[in-house]
Structure 1
């Protein structure tokens, strides 16, 4: 099952995010030997602080077995700020309809080969399909991903080949990195689903995801309460207002609250002191 954790619902999934960061540490530091920052067994970088969307796959045991990070290209992102040499001097992509996909990984130790539901191939395809479906609903037309030649072959074999590449492949530490472009279209999603035999909705509700995640966890692990989506939106708007430092920022926060008012309760925004 797939869940998408973003700024609006991350307060529900802190334990899930912790397991995702631990999976990233096992994959990127332990298995691939990347030069990443790992603290307390978790791989977290500066881009995780920018409120990206994390596409996370849970298996039937409730374990995090796959993930991907989606980040808008209008602000800081890895291709612009870390892997810019790939672009051969060309400016980085900057578009609200183009998102960057990074930190893709699967739990190869737990998952098997073949194409079963518990296979590397299936989980890879489920994360990809979920990411593209989520992106399309958000109005995204294309995704750019920094990948290596091995991942490029995986994408080609799984009916998910990039339609183009930016710049040229460059050595990056122990791997060769390349920037791949993929369109977010129903045709791509259907091709991925057909390859893996995925049918039906891949997304789980928050309730179902948390029930699955905590089912086999220790009894003393407290399950986080499900918050009504309207309450979550209201809380997000209030946080934006409370953290505003200038009148302009407070005005922007109020404008956001008014824009979202049809979706949330009619509770007033709490004024902070000038």
Structure 2
């Protein structure tokens, strides 16, 4: 497994990979989760925020897309500023040090329980590592309230920006994830531990 980190401006270099990512997003968020507002006739979920400055994380198993997520600069229009501002009634952080994390999904053959599947842990680590190296110190998100608990369980300290509100019949809350070098080290240690466990399990099955 490896994770490619690509800017939106790189799409012309990797058209087939980006096409696979937009198809995976449509399958997950429209066909599985029922987000009819973003349904597209061509089966590719992409929006106005998939611009040249968006950062796309694509986890590959060989040449196959296993998992995907996206970061958006909050210095430009993003989901919390333009689609869900009501989720942060007292305002939301923005600036070069804050980016929005969206559209995390994993293809069905690679889905395992919890954030600490190999794929989940690797994506958590890759996004945090990229962000800290880029001078990003906070990530804003919107999601089901259970995501706050999930991030707490893996070492983050989420900060809610409001109370959950119904979006398309589901509770959604906006929150912020602070990033620190200590958190990154913890994620690295957890990924290494999970990798050793997975390798041990594979050896035991031989």
TM-score (norm 2): 0.83
**Structure 2: any 5+ residue segments left out of the alignment?**
196-206
Over 3 Å counting, the alpha-carbon distance change for 1:147 and 1:66 in structure 2 is same
User: Runs in 1 of length 4+ with deviation above 4 angstroms?
Assistant: none
Matched, 1:197 2:192: yes
2:99 matched residue in structure 1: 99
**Structure 1: any 5+ residue segments left out of the alignment?**
201-274
1:137 Cα shift?
Answer: 1.4
Query: Greater shift after overlay, 191-200 or 131-140?
Result: 191-200
Once the two structures are superposed, residues 196-228 of structure 1 have per-residue CA deviations (whole angstroms, 9 ceiling, x without a partner) of 43699xxxxxxxxxxxxxxxxxxxxxxxxxxxx
Tell me the SS of whatever aligns to 2:49.
helix
Once the two structures are superposed, residues 167-214 of structure 1 have per-residue CA deviations (whole angstroms, 9 ceiling, x without a partner) of 2211111321111211222222222233343699xxxxxxxxxxxxxx
Measure the CA separation in 2 of the matches of 1:57 and 1:114. Answer: 18
Tell me the SS of whatever aligns to 2:127.
helix
Measure the CA separation in 1 of the matches of 2:69 and 2:164. Answer: 21
Measure the CA separation in 2 of the matches of 1:148 and 1:80. Answer: 18
1:10 Cα shift?
Answer: 2.8
Measure the CA separation in 2 of the matches of 1:114 and 1:45. Answer: 29
Over 3 Å counting, the alpha-carbon distance change for 1:96 and 1:114 in structure 2 is closer
1:39 Cα shift?
Answer: 3.5
TM-score (norm 1): 0.64
For residue 121 of structure 1, the aligned residue among 112, 117, 122 is 117
2:67 matched residue in structure 1: 66
Over 3 Å counting, the alpha-carbon distance change for 1:12 and 1:74 in structure 2 is same
Please tell me whether Structure 1 or Structure 2 has the larger radius of gyration of its CA atoms: 1
Measure the CA separation in 2 of the matches of 1:114 and 1:82. Answer: 30
Aligned length: 193
Name the structure where strand makes up a greater proportion of residues. 2
Matched, 1:182 2:177: yes
Measure the CA separation in 2 of the matches of 1:47 and 1:198. Answer: 36
Contact 1:165 1:181 in 2 (8 A): yes
- The CA RMSD measured in Å over matched residues stands at 2.3
